[in-house]
Structure 1
Amino acid sequence: MNLEPLGTPEAPTFGLDTFGDVALHPDGTAVSHPEAIGQVVAEAVVAEQVGLDFFGIGEHHRPDFSVSSPDVVLAAIAGQTSRLRLGTSVTVLSSDDPIRVFQRFSTLDAVSGGRAEVTLGRGSFTESFPLFGLSLDDYETLFSEKLDLFTQLLQERPVTWEGTFRPPLVAGQAFPRTAHGLTAWIGVGGTPESVVRAASYGLPLVVAVIGGSPARFEPLVDLYHRALEHYGHGTRPISMHSPGHVAVTDEQAREEMYPHQAAAFTKIGAERGWPPYTPEQFDDGAGPTGSLFVGSPETVATKIAWAIRTLGLSRFQLKYAVGTLPHEQRLSSIRLYGEEVVPRVRELLARRAD
């Protein structure tokens, strides 16, 4: 498994995440799924143009997100880029087959010239379980077993393995092989068990901070480091995924982001029995230590630098596609992030190091 291009707390890398959120046209109508996927490809191309390091696409199976097969979209992006690392945020391993996941991403690694990554997780949505004939009663066991198999496949040697949900493997092999190993991360939402499990396999960690403060993850990051030591692994990269939006001023960024953030979280909340999203929740998240990285380049850069120092991050991933936020506003946010935010973060980190 190749960890070299993933950054360090001293020299972090910077990426973007999207779920292929279905945006709005200027007239307020929703774009189609084919249009939304085309927009994702165009946004990734701009991400490379402005010097970003990573582009991640999440897997979902619901109408407000257009991407159910991230590896296919990432392959399209690979054909239009040359440097950008390409991965997921996340791949729902619980409802997929580990061998097929490895094969798809080792293929992506080949067509992208070694730029593929995969972030494995259980996902925050559960639509894939009934869609693929799986029971939510098996939610935890499915992920545990499939992750165990997948980590063995990463060794790219014959695998003999037995579990509950599939026939045993006897010297099974997954092809194609990669040139330098496939980079795999574990995405976690904040449970100690998930953090320890990632450490037990020696896999790098992505923490999804979509509520509260990044600082509340400090004990989990400490636990991860202690668990890595316990299991005999060296240091591994840690990344953070959080939503945000960059505009010329704080006021513009908040005005552009809020209605789309509120609509998305109110819709999801109605499905899960939560109350409607409020301006107060948005203001809390947009504060100096909240989970929303929204504002002017200086505001967002200051907050990212703080998060990197607080958690010792090797990478920061901005979830820039906020619900129905229009494509042109997303493109503007990407440009400001790459051209102004990231250089300023590096400057702030270097100043602190001196």
Structure 2
Amino acid sequence: MRPAGRFAQEGACGGIAREEHMDTQVEFGVDTFGDITTDASGERLSQAQVLRNVVEQGELAERVGLDFFGVGEHHREDFAVSAPEVVLAAIGARTERIRLGSAVTVLSSDDPVRVFQRFATLDGLTGGRAEVILGRGSFTESFPLFGYDLAQYEALFEEKLELFVRLLDQEPVTWEGRLRPSIRGLPVYPHVEGRLRAWIGVGGSPESVVRAAHHGLPLVLAIIGGSPARFAPLAELYRKALGQFGRDELPVAVHSPGHVADTDEQARDELWPHYADIMGRIGRERGWGPITRGHFEQEAGPHGALYVGSTETVAQKIAAAVRAIGVSRFDLKYSNGTLGHELMLGSIERYGTEVVPRVRELLADPPRPAAG
């Protein structure tokens, strides 16, 4: 990715736009968690069929010109993908250009050496197209599954991230661990041709943002609720921390959910029942109140985190967020609960062929100062 350019204006999504850091060559991707979907009759698909559908979705993402395809890792019944790099390898065998990465890899409950080896293998098989986005994950099922103590949630991630960053240099590793066994001058294979692309995904914690800067890794902001503009200070904190650590400026990306259809009304009506289903299900697990259509409409509005609507509506909203935060890549999470495969394919196609070109047009024009 290219380093960001510089300018500043009032953002259409609220707050002060950070255009001085916005790259005019913004990249665009899509993400999926491999949500278990339903067929036309409302019957749940098998996890195996969902995996095959994800591969088809990845192929389409390349055909419509997108830059990145991301697959999340989960270990629960409502998501089919527990091994993102395997799914990505299948997509890689059927594509030639699009970059392929996790969204995210739960490093805390995995082994850094094996994560590096799997993604280095993916990188070799796809000619340098692999990326890994490292995170702690928003679900905790992997901890008891793999025998980790949730009480060590923070410590596990910090220690394993330190080791993973060492592995990126592709030199024999000597490393002292407390929660993971130490390594004494051992090489790790396979090597990649160049350097494996690695990011840190965060959900809004200033400490996590500073951690990413400390380790010199690009940042992905997962914005799933509220105004995207409220994340601009976190992006600025990251850039400031990079400077304080003596590092060059690095990319900032955004991951947010959405759905594109012919009209705003159609997009919202198509997405709402599926969004309500997944948010209600997760909400019951976490003690949240019931999701309402009013809350959904607010998040789908100009200042919310849902990019739902027609081509123009979604494009205007993405352009506003890019300007407000100053990002190098925007990834639309097109999978949303039980939303059907055909609807997702339609959303990906509109996003790649209509929304992205329109966003580029909007970003190429100087933004207009806010009225008043």
Helix, strand or coil for the counterpart of 1:120? strand
From 216, 223, 233, the counterpart of 2:247: 233
Where structure 2 has 5 or more consecutive residues not aligned to the other structure, the ranges are 6-21
**Where does residue 100 of structure 1 map in the other structure?**
114
Q: Deviations over 1:230-274 (max 9, x none)?
A: 001111000000000000000000000010001100000000011
How far did residue 125 of structure 1 move?
0.3
Letter in 1 for 2:333: K
How far did residue 276 of structure 1 move?
1.1
Residue 86 (str. 1) matches residue 100 (str. 2): yes
How far did residue 115 of structure 1 move?
0.2
**Where does residue 183 of structure 1 map in the other structure?**
197
Q: Deviations over 1:137-167 (max 9, x none)?
A: 0000000000000000001001111111122
**1:116-155 correspondence runs (5 A):** 116-155=130-169
Letter in 2 for 1:176: P
Q: Percent identity?
A: 60
**Where does residue 161 of structure 1 map in the other structure?**
175
**Where does residue 348 of structure 2 map in the other structure?**
334
Helix, strand or coil for the counterpart of 2:25? coil
**Where does residue 15 of structure 2 map in the other structure?**
none
How far did residue 118 of structure 1 move?
0.1
Residue 349 (str. 1) matches residue 358 (str. 2): no
**Where does residue 212 of structure 1 map in the other structure?**
226
In the comparison of the two structures, how many residue pairs are matched? 352
Letter in 2 for 1:197: R
**1:1-354 correspondence runs (5 A):** 3=1, 9-352=23-366
TM-score (norm 1): 0.98
Residues 165 and 89 (structure 1 numbering): CA distance in 2 closer, same or farther, change over 3 Å? Answer: same
RMSD of aligned Cα (Å): 1.4
TM-score (norm 2): 0.93
How far did residue 81 of structure 1 move?
0.3
Q: Deviations over 1:146-201 (max 9, x none)?
A: 00000000010011111111221111221000001100000000011000000001
How far did residue 219 of structure 1 move?
1.1
8 A Cα contact 1:6 1:315, kept in partner? no
Q: Deviations over 1:275-307 (max 9, x none)?
A: 111111101100112100000000000000000
How far did residue 6 of structure 1 move?
11
Helix, strand or coil for the counterpart of 1:335? helix
Where structure 1 has 5 or more consecutive residues not aligned to the other structure, the ranges are none
Structure 1 ranges of 4+ moved more than 4 A: 3-8
